[in-house]
Structure 1
Amino acid sequence: MRPSELDFRHYESRVMLRVVIGSRAYGLDDEHSDTDKRGIYLPQAEQHWSLEGVPEQIENDATQEVYWEFEKFLKLALKSNPNILETLYSPLVEFASPFAKKLIAARAEFLSRAVYDTFQGYVESQFKRITTELRNLERIRWKQMMHLIRLQLTGITLLQTGELTLHVGEHLQLLRDIKSGKRTFDEVDALRRSLSHQFDLALATTSLPEHPNRELANDLLIEARTLALKASLP
């Protein structure tokens, strides 16, 4: 058994939030889609204070599950990590403890203009890798390209509306066409550049704050650590 699987079994009872993300949350799923689960776990205080410490994340490859330790989750949320924000905003919540529900109720406090640098920076870096693979290996990862376009569309809407919506809505057919290779590389690259411009415009006019609410995040962390003194999951 892998160390990560041992960690998962050891801390599984401390999972405070479990949601489904990925294609099923985006509305892009089909009969072949996996069910990707993400969430948060809160170790007991004694586990956290021990010499061994606790892992920043636990995972179960067999069931496509990944859970971040609460403090790690908060720090990533403050950096506008896409996976973390999608976990907070997934419409497919399988389990949420009372404290996790409190976190979800405050999720808008983690949204800020930082999503521009995080989302767009990831898109640009990954497109460079895809271009290099195309040049050197003559292959294109269409599914990856589709998700990069999806991330741009999500980020633009977030800056424009102040809301993070995972379902792709009216862009469903476009994204499916990209995934299936019905659009050429040049077409998708041109779309990426057009969306980058729209992203710039959205950043200039967004009502989102410059930074997320770090004070709230700190208060939540202190409260969680206090609650972790109890044996039961808060």
Structure 2
Amino acid sequence: MTTILLTVIGSRAYGLVGPESDVDLRGVFVAPTTAFWRFAKPPTSVEGPEPERLDWEVEHFCALALKSNPTVLEVLASPLIRVCTPVGAELRALLPAFLCRQAAATFTHTCRRQLDRALAPERPKHKQIMHVIRLGQTALRLLRTGELSIAAQDRAALLAVRDGETPLAESVAWAERVLADLAAAVPDSPLPETPDTARVQDWLISVRRRFLDDADPA
């Protein structure tokens, strides 16, 4: 298996790093094409060896990105790159093919799920609410501009939410406003309705051909 891309996502990539922030590593690897000819297929993802690291096999990664998975898309937009081979650079350049209006529904669903968890009766989680707002703002900017940037907006205000300096009701209201704005931005978005699946598939086929003989053309 060959790692073609490894990036840092999470608070460090968003510009919201704190004293307790982990180094969240996410990457993409390519398994030799011949490995798929056996009954035992290569794994779709692998954890480690570093703490907080997860890598996806390139086909599974592309399938998730075509569904606008927020975490997967952030791998392609992160400015903090640990490994990027020529094939990895091709994948990063493919980012526009994954971006579409479908992201609004996927990001909103993720935000809603996180917000519900953050407001669980046992104890509100201010950090999680901060990330809901940040993710919603990221999606809103994507819908309005057609480009994905994961750098946090309103950094000081977001940190105030994280640290519990902003009243809980105000933080939740902010999150709700962002999600409402996100829904309203869909009709006028410059993004296409669906991703460019054909372009992604053509690239994936080219990768499979280049890795046919267990060589390492990355």
Question: Which secondary structure does the structure 1 equivalent of 2:187 belong to?
Answer: helix
Offset of residue 31 of structure 1: 3.8
User: Partner residue of 1:116?
Assistant: 104
1:100 has 2:88 as partner: yes
1:71 has 2:55 as partner: no
Superposition map of 1:1-234 within 5 A = 11=1, 14-60=2-48, 62-131=50-119, 133-134=120-121, 137=122, 139-169=123-153, 171-230=154-213, 231-234=215-218
Mapped to 1, the partners of 2:110 and 2:91 lie a distance apart of 26
Offset of residue 130 of structure 1: 3.0
Offset of residue 26 of structure 1: 0.3
Equivalent residue pairs, number: 217
Offset of residue 49 of structure 1: 2.2
Question: Which secondary structure does the structure 1 equivalent of 2:68 belong to?
Answer: coil
Mapped to 1, the partners of 2:12 and 2:38 lie a distance apart of 38
Counting aligned pairs with the same residue, the percent is 35
Question: Which secondary structure does the structure 2 equivalent of 1:28 belong to?
Answer: coil
Task: State the AA in 2 paired with 1:157.
Answer: R
Q: Deviations over 1:162-207 (max 9, x none)?
A: 11111114x1111111111112221112112211221122112111
Whether contact under 8 Å (2:115, 2:128) holds in the other structure is no
Whether contact under 8 Å (1:26, 1:167) holds in the other structure is yes
User: Partner residue of 1:3?
Assistant: none
Mapped to 1, the partners of 2:194 and 2:148 lie a distance apart of 16
Mapped to 2, the partners of 1:154 and 1:204 lie a distance apart of 17
Question: Which secondary structure does the structure 1 equivalent of 2:25 belong to?
Answer: strand
Note closer, same or farther for the CA distance 1:62–1:91 as it changes in structure 2 (3 Å cut): closer
Unaligned residue ranges in structure 2 (runs of 5+): none
Mapped to 2, the partners of 1:124 and 1:105 lie a distance apart of 30
Q: Deviations over 1:28-61 (max 9, x none)?
A: 1134322111110001123232222111100116
Task: State the AA in 2 paired with 1:200.
Answer: A
Higher helix residue share: 1
Mapped to 2, the partners of 1:118 and 1:20 lie a distance apart of 22
Mapped to 1, the partners of 2:176 and 2:79 lie a distance apart of 30
Offset of residue 62 of structure 1: 4.0
- RMSD over aligned CA atoms reads 1.4
Question: Which secondary structure does the structure 1 equivalent of 2:6 belong to?
Answer: strand
Mapped to 1, the partners of 2:8 and 2:106 lie a distance apart of 22
Mapped to 1, the partners of 2:53 and 2:13 lie a distance apart of 15
Unaligned residue ranges in structure 1 (runs of 5+): 1-10
